[in-house]
Structure formats: structure tokens, C-alpha cells
Amino acid sequence: MGVEEILKGELSRRQLFRGAVCSAGITALATGGLSLFTRAEAKDGHTEKWPWPYVKLDPDKTAEIAYEEWYRVFCGAGVINSIFSQLREKIGEPYKSFPVDAFKFLEGGMSAWGTICGSNAGANVVTNCIIGPSLKGASEDGMLMGSEIMQWYCDANMPTYTPKDPKFKGEMPKTVANSPLCHVSVGKWMKAADKSLGSPDRKDRCARVTASVAYHTVKLLNEWKDGKYKTKGVLPAKSFNIPAQSNCTECHGSGVPTPPAAKKV
Amino acid sequence: MGVEEILKGELSRRQLFRGAVCSAGITALATGGLSLFTRAEAKDGHTEKWPWPYVKLDPDKTAEIAYEEWYRVFCGAGVINSIFSQLREKIGEPYKSFPVDAFKFLEGGMSAWGTICGSNAGANVVTNCIIGPSLKGASEDGMLMGSEIMQWYCDANMPTYTPKDPKFKGEMPKTVANSPLCHVSVGKWMKAADKSLGSPDRKDRCARVTASVAYHTVKLLNEWKDGKYKTKGVLPAKSFNIPAQSNCTECHGSGVPTPPAAKKV
């Protein structure tokens, strides 16, 4: 029995089982000596229809929720939950099925490695879940809105949002990260404030950054809902010929390497 | 009416509405001048019960799926889908409800910014969704397994996995990234191979890295399922006093700054 025939049999069984006509474009991967895998399941999950329903949210309320959530699940899950928790209440599915708390690992730039700031990662999860991924023929606005938020994060004098009743009552220094990375962002702030990672000042700074990113994300999503969103987001790899931030000299100094040319294969 | 009383009323209405006894630990955030938000919904999503059911998967088959998926949704969603698509078939929920394709944005280190390699981000999504987040009183193994995978990625001569029938038939150079970041990882490879981002060589390299990470992730998850997983993962912020990678001099040169001391607040 050839792969084609096995596939036909598999398809019939599935249609019977699931009571659904599988979409065109089902492909299969037959691996030598291994059992067959069809991509039908992978491609038509019931939460994989975009855009997800969205109603405009209050940026201030969202920021307050994000601020409080930082003290429970930190930056990434804080941003996601500040938005999805409200949409769970106002809309229901697919937000109720999304395992927000699993994203606590975004803390400290992913498991405390200092890579992408969890607030940025969380914002990208939100925009790409709601607007949808840039699959063939689909809008790129989800990814570009995430990119726009990262550029805004790089340029902003953070934190931009001050909570109504902050847990830390002292003076809060502000810094410009010029990078979407946790290590660079929090490092510059710690240097300017001369405060340790474990200080209440630093914790509240990151809670406020989380609130700031949540506020900005909802502001853009509300524009999108109104049909007024014109993205400022770009895909930096297109201009740099390598996936990159724009602060090259910050790591490379004056010796910024030139990637092998785009036209060269 | 005080917050406590408002909460009691809100709780009764919810119980009536949802036919469910809300769990203990419901908290509320009353924001000045804004309407009340309860965290009940945020805390008891039906997919937020851990660990998720898991059956052992074939690492080779998983790697082959990941390799193929790269050519559809790139690295992050490729790793997630290589594992979740099989579990959708073998188990069903909660994997069917997870919007895997939304994670296409992890490509190029998140929207082509070169931050965390999407393969690493995808692996962290998988381990934290299956094993669960390190919420109070819960296991840290999901986050630590993600961290262990990142360290393995840093040290590995990548790509470690060669597909059965690779699309690119030429010689495939291997490089050690010494970093979990896309920009550093792909940059070192591009330099060693003298190939551009758009070359078929580079594309197949990233597809093979995706396969390599998927293979390693399933290997660790299978150990965990067998009750034999002893994590090698750490949270780097604990030793560096700042969220960080361990390749400090690669960006800082000989002038690695010292974070404000941990004991200082």
C-alpha cells in the first residue's frame, strides 16, 4: 500500500471520527521506518481561526491588572493575563482555553536568562493570538504590531506607567533600554538606580514596565479594532540581512560585522 | 458597600452563572475609579491544570516533523507543533485547544529581531505547558527543563540532527553558538559557512536546528514521563545577580560590569 492510499484511508477514518470535512492542503510526512503522521490535526485546531473576537479594553484598567499580576506571575504572563483575563469575562472562548499561567517562564527574559523581556514576549503572544499569525495569504499585522511594541519599548523612558497605588512608594528612576532584551533593559536601570535585582525598587520597576507594555498593547489593539491601525512595525532582518536589533555597536563596538550579502547564496 | 461585600456579591453571581464552586484564593483588584476585576477567571482556566497528559514520543519522528514544519511555520511553532500535533492525535485535549500556529512569530528570534532563538522559545512553551509553571508550591521542572535545553543549545555543535531526506543536499557546516539568541547563533553559522540569510543552506540549517531542539526536548520529556528526569537546568539570575547568559565577555569584552550587590537594596 502506497503513501497516497494510506493517506486516503487515514482521511476517511478521520472524517468519520470527527464528523468534519478536512480542509484541502492536507499533507503527510512518511518517515522511513516510522509510522505515518498527517498534518490534519496540526492545521485545523478549533482555536486556530483568526482573528479572535476582541472588544476594546480600558488601557488604564489593563495596566493596573498587569501591575498586580507581576507580583503573582511576573512580566510575560502578567501582560497576557491583563488582557486575556478581561476577554475571558467579556467574550469567553478561545481565551478561556488559553493556558496563560504556563507563560510564567517568560520571567527574567525566559527562565532568568535575560533574553527577550517577558513583557515584550507576552505582548507578541497577545497580538499574534488575537490578530493571527502571518500564514500564507494572512495579514502580517499581528507580528508587525509585536515588532512595533518592541521598538516602542526600546525607545521609551521606562517605566511609562505609574500605578494608582504603587507598592513601592519611593522615587522611581526611568531609563531608555535601546534594546528589547531583559538583561540590557534591567541592567541599565539597575546601574542608573544603583539598586540590586532583589530590591523592592527593582521589583516595582519591572511591575511598572509590565503595566506600561500592557497599556501600550491595548492602545494599539483598540486602534486595530476601530480599523485605524497603521503599523509602524518592521521585520529588521529585511534591512540588516540578519535577524537583529538596531543597537549593533552596543555589543560589537566599532567592529560591526557585515553579514554575507543577501544576493549571495 | 466595601470591596469585601462587592466581592461576595460577585462571587454569588458567578457561582450561579457558571454552576461551579469557585476555588479558594479568589482575589480581587479594585482600581480607583475603574470597575472591579476579579481574578477568578484568570486562575481556573480549564487548560490550567498541570501536568498535562503526556505519552512518550519517538524523538526521530518528532525531529522529522519539526524539520518539515520549519518550512511552513519556522522554528518556534515548528518545535511546538512537532510535539503537540502528535499529542493532539494520541491524547486530544488540551493540545487541540492550543493555538500552535499563532507562535509563527517566534521566527528569526521573534519577528526577525534576533532575540531568543525560536527553537528555544518553542521548547520552553512545550515544557512549561506540559509539566506546568512554577507557581507557588508547584514543581520548577518545566522552567528548569527549558533552561537546561537552552544551555544544551549553547554548547551543542549545531545542527545535531540530520533529516532522513534533507531538502539541501550539500555540505552542512556546524557551529557552537555559546548563546541562546538567534542573532548570535545564526550569525556565527553564517560567518563560518559564508552563506547569506536567504540561501537554501541557511534555511536548511535553521530547519535542522529546529529538528535538533525538538529531538532533545522529547528525549527529556520521555525521561520525565519515566520518572527519571533530574534537571541540569539553573536560573542564571541567582548566580549572576542579574538575568544573564554566561557569555559575558562576548558583548562586554574585558569590561564586564558588576551588578549592584544582591544584599544591597
- Name beta bridge partners: A181: A116
Per mean pLDDT, which range of A1-10, A238-247, B69-78 is the poorest? A1-10
**What does the pLDDT average to over A226-251?**
95
Confidence at A26, pLDDT banded by 50, 70, 90: very low
pLDDT tens digit sequence for B201-242: 999 999 999 999 999 999 999 999 999 999 999 999 998 999
- Answer yes or no: do B121 and A103 touch at CB < 8 A: no
CA distance A100 to chain B (A): 8
Omega of the bond leading into A236 within 30 degrees of 0 (cis): no
pLDDT tens digit sequence for B140-154: 999 999 999 999 999
The alpha carbon torsion through B195, B200, B205, B211 (nearest 10 deg) reads: 170
pLDDT tens digit sequence for B102-111: 999 999 999 9
The pairing of beta strand A28-29 with beta strand A37-38: antiparallel
- Answer yes or no: do B101 and A64 touch at CB < 8 A: no
Report how far residue A143's alpha carbon sits from residue A190's, in angstroms, rounded to the nearest whole number.
Answer: 30
Confidence at B43, pLDDT banded by 50, 70, 90: low
3-state helix, strand, coil in chain A (%, to 5): 50, 5, 45
pLDDT: which is higher, A40 or A6: A40
Report how far residue B150's alpha carbon sits from residue B12's, in angstroms, rounded to the nearest whole number.
Answer: 46
Per mean pLDDT, which range of A4-8, A81-85, B144-148 is the poorest? A4-8
- Residue A157 has phi, psi (to 5 degrees) of -85, 95
Give the chain A residue whose CA is nearest to the CA of B234: A111
H helices, E strands: number in chain A: 9, 4
Residue B114 with chain A: CB contacts under 8 Å: 236-237, 242-245
Which letter does DSSP use for residue A176 in this model?
E
**What does the pLDDT average to over A235-247?**
94
**What does the pLDDT average to over A23-41?**
34
What's chain B's average pLDDT?
86
The amino acid occupying position A140 is E
Q: Which residues contact A65 (CB under 8 A, 6 or more apart)?
A: A81, A82, A85, A86, A214, B29, B37
CA distance A226 to chain B (A): 22
Share of chain A above pLDDT 90, in %: 80
Report how far residue B240's alpha carbon sits from residue A171's, in angstroms, rounded to the nearest whole number.
Answer: 26
- Answer yes or no: do B85 and A196 touch at CB < 8 A: no
**What does the pLDDT average to over A207-226?**
98
Q: Furthest-apart CA pair in chain A: how many Å?
A: 74
Model-level pTM? 0.85
- ipTM, 2 decimals? 0.85
Question: Is residue B95 over pLDDT 70?
Answer: yes
**Length reported for chain A:** 265
- Residue B242 has phi, psi (to 5 degrees) of -165, 145
Omega of the bond leading into A243 within 30 degrees of 0 (cis): no
